[in-house]
Chains A and B, each alone.
Chain A
Amino acid sequence: MTSPLEQKKIRIMGPSVVTANRTWDGAVVYRTSEQGWSTVLSDAAIVSTSDDARALLAESVADDVGAVGAYIAPVEIKEGGVIKPGNLREHIRSKGLTIDLLPA
């Protein structure tokens, strides 16, 4: 995972969110525009500029009690404004395991 510090140097290439893991249980969460956290990706604040992304990240990192390991992650905005994870890692974090837990 890229650290928030390193991400300051990174320009985002498209719509992005800030994601982290909730401190008390580790659940995947997304930073909302109300300065809170949600487990639902569609609740996430979407940023489109590097400055906005850095600001959202800085605010998220400051909430150390709420969530851990905040970082910027890419998303895709589909038709009708539906937000989808921007890569496989984020897809797995958002949707869960890709595997069967029990033998076929």
Chain B
Amino acid sequence: MYAYDELDRTLINERVSEFRDQVKRRLSGELTEDEFKMLRLQNGVYLQLHAYMFRVAIPYGTLSSKQLRRLAHVARRYDRGYGHFTTRQNIQFNWIKLAELPDALSDLAEVGIHAMQTSGNNMRNVTSDQWAGVAPGEVEDPRIWSEILRQHTTLHPEFSFLPRKFKIAITASEHDRAAIKIHDIGLRLHKNADGETGFEVLVGGGLGRTPFIAKTIKPFVHGRDILSYVEAILRVYNQYGRRDNIYKARIKILVHELGIEKFAREVDEEWRQMSDSALTLDHSVIDEVRSRFSYPAYEKLPHMPDELKQAAHDPLFERWRKNSVAPHKVQGYSIVTLSLKPVGGPPGDATADQMDAVADLADKYSFGEIRVGHEQNLALPHVAKRDLPQLWKALDRLGLATPNVNLVTDIIACPGLDYCSLANARSIPIAQELTRRFANHDTADMIGRLHINISGCINACGHHHVGHIGILGVEKNGEEFYQITIGGRADENAQMGVLIGPAVPYAEVADVIEDIVEAYLALRDRPEELFVDTVKRLGVEPFKERVYATR
């Protein structure tokens, strides 16, 4: 966990006071909506179909049990008893009243949570690997660098009015769980030949109506220089990024139009002028941030405790353990993913009661710490293996032990037309129907790793471009239709999926997905060949043929 200092606490509390005054003036008519809109957006407040939506940041996906309880309190006191975890380590409340928002912000501020820069054309929540600090083989805890970037960019005047929103993600593992290649800047922490820690810097990734995979702009930037290098990128973007067309304003368009080489030269020139500036991080600064992260006092525990050996006789426990429990860097401990994808449930939603219960379980089994992943699941990062059987029973009672992590029913979905004012089509009911179709865990296990991502419009909040199967809702003559792509992925080998053919109507989507999965099962070389690898080997044609031959 990271402990905020007095400066952070003051900043957050002052922001609450400012927003309380702004809301008061808006409700009295002193501020018009045009004047107020940017102020509310700067505090994560959108206006959606039915109500205001309040997006709260969970920096680098790390929460304390105390913070999660407070989120539960906000869900219960100010909303309708639930919240929605997003693909960028935020939580959204869908029914909040503007008049009560200052109180909700104030309650959150007491535990160091805020909504600054969760919207607007600024630097958004810096995201990271939800297994940061506990994943075996990790170079270093990437949250230290996420926090340095968070501190530097929060309310930074130069980055508060960018051409468009700006998103950074950081990973420190070989396997990218933070989807860095679809971010404006992706940072991969690694060591160079001299054993120094630094970053491969990628730039210009993003989804939306013009999707791009990020390109490497610098293979290695030393850790001490990362602030200045990121700032150099932002300065070039701030100078040349388009402000005349919202659809061409993201940095990905600038990088694409200039070309990565020319863009890199511009950045290098800017960076050269900043070398040895105050932005160069000395060890004391890095160590200060590092020292504010606390790590558990792990016990020395056996690799295979008796409790685990005994529980292994229970096939239901074993199914869950094999699916949802991952190795930890410390012997005797595990990382446990809590699926927020129950059969028939809205992906990523958690009730206030579930949040409270997870907070209690975190206190009991995970040193009071919870993580949030971009796949819209939670994780307990420090669970002793001896406690896994008891934890599983407790999670099962809460509906949080569905053994479907990374399987066909672990669906990423945006809120879609049920909530979102931008959406053209619904996402959640498509996801719910698919989870019912593939509810049999044996079938899901047999299919293997398969990520379905659903977006209700081209803005791609459900990351449909990089789903192994991507589903994009569009509107045709007032009806919901869905375009299907296959072969996308968001990991270290990120790529965009390929469209398989004409859009299909709402009622046929689940049938089409079943056809695609059946085609895969018939076509795969061997049971271990993943869906994306079969698509890579054969292309989309066999799948296209299967789907459209009878339609």
Interface residues of A in 55-104 (CB under 8 A from B): 64-65, 68-69, 87-89, 92-93, 96-104
Pick from A93, A96, A103 the residue with the most CB of B within 10 Å: A103
Contact A88 B32 (CB under 8 A): no
Known: A98-B426, A99-B418, A101-B349. A89 touches B49 (CB 8 A): yes
Does A45 interact with chain B (Cβ within 8 Å)? Answer: no
Does A23 interact with chain B (Cβ within 8 Å)? Answer: yes
Does B309 interact with chain A (Cβ within 8 Å)? Answer: no
Set B27, B29, B97: member contacting A26, Cβ < 8 A: B97
Known: A23-B27, A26-B52. A97 touches B418 (CB 8 A): yes
Does B142 interact with chain A (Cβ within 8 Å)? Answer: no
Q: Is the interface of A mostly helix, strand, loop or mixed?
A: loop
Contact B344 A93 (CB under 8 A): no
Does B243 interact with chain A (Cβ within 8 Å)? Answer: no
Does A46 interact with chain B (Cβ within 8 Å)? Answer: no
Nearest-Cβ distance from residue B193 to partner chain A, whole angstroms = 51
Set A23, A28, A87: member contacting B50, Cβ < 8 A: A28
Residues on the B chain within 8 Å of A23, using CB: 26-27, 33, 98
Residues on the B chain within 8 Å of A68, using CB: 33, 47
Contact B49 A99 (CB under 8 A): no
Contact B82 A21 (CB under 8 A): no
Does A10 interact with chain B (Cβ within 8 Å)? Answer: no
Contact B478 A99 (CB under 8 A): no
Q: Per-residue CB proximity of B1-43 to A under 8 Å, as 1/0?
A: 0000000000000000000000000111100110000000000
Nearest-Cβ distance from residue B536 to partner chain A, whole angstroms = 34
Contact A99 B33 (CB under 8 A): no
Does B443 interact with chain A (Cβ within 8 Å)? Answer: no
Does A40 interact with chain B (Cβ within 8 Å)? Answer: no
Contact B343 A98 (CB under 8 A): no
Stretch at the interface among B216-224, B227-235, B370-378, B428-436: B428-436
Residues on the A chain within 8 Å of B26, using CB: 23
Question: Bound complex: CA of A64 vs CA of B399, how far in Å?
Answer: 44
Contact B344 A26 (CB under 8 A): no
Nearest-Cβ distance from residue B23 to partner chain A, whole angstroms = 9
Nearest-Cβ distance from residue A93 to partner chain B, whole angstroms = 5
Question: Bound complex: CA of A69 vs CA of B40, how far in Å?
Answer: 14
Set A24, A25, A28, A103: member contacting B49, Cβ < 8 A: A28
Question: Bound complex: CA of A76 vs CA of B168, how far in Å?
Answer: 46
Contact B27 A24 (CB under 8 A): yes
Contact B97 A24 (CB under 8 A): yes
Contact B47 A21 (CB under 8 A): yes
Question: Bound complex: CA of A58 vs CA of B419, how far in Å?
Answer: 26
Interface residues of B in 396-432 (CB under 8 A from A): 399, 417-419, 421, 426, 428-429, 432
Contact B98 A24 (CB under 8 A): yes
Does B448 interact with chain A (Cβ within 8 Å)? Answer: no
Does A27 interact with chain B (Cβ within 8 Å)? Answer: yes
Contact B97 A25 (CB under 8 A): yes
Contact A93 B50 (CB under 8 A): yes
Set B28, B29, B48, B432: member contacting A99, Cβ < 8 A: B432
**Please, which residue of chain B has its CB at the minimum distance from the CB of A93?**
B49
Nearest-Cβ distance from residue B313 to partner chain A, whole angstroms = 28
Residues on the A chain within 8 Å of B51, using CB: 21, 25-27
Nearest-Cβ distance from residue A53 to partner chain B, whole angstroms = 19
**Please, which residue of chain A has its CB at the minimum distance from the CB of B49?**
A93
Interface residues of A in 3-33 (CB under 8 A from B): 21, 23-28
Nearest-Cβ distance from residue B95 to partner chain A, whole angstroms = 8
Pick from B27, B50, B426, B478 the residue with the most CB of A within 10 Å: B50
Contact A88 B97 (CB under 8 A): no
Does B345 interact with chain A (Cβ within 8 Å)? Answer: yes
Residues on the B chain within 8 Å of A97, using CB: 418-419
Residues on the A chain within 8 Å of B133, using CB: none
Pairs across A and B, CB under 8 Å, 26 listed: A23-B27, A24-B97, A25-B52, A25-B98, A25-B99, A26-B47, A26-B51, A26-B52, A27-B51, A28-B49, A28-B50, A64-B29, A64-B33, A68-B47, A87-B478, A88-B417, A92-B417, A96-B50, A97-B418, A99-B426, A99-B432, A100-B344, A100-B345, A101-B346, A103-B343, A103-B399
6 closest pairs, A vs B, by CB? A104-B344, A26-B51, A25-B97, A103-B345, A103-B342, A26-B52
Given contacts A24-B99, A97-B418, A103-B342, list 15 more A-B pairs with CB under 8 A: A1-B421, A23-B26, A23-B27, A23-B98, A25-B98, A26-B97, A27-B51, A64-B32, A69-B33, A69-B47, A89-B49, A93-B50, A98-B418, A102-B344, A103-B343
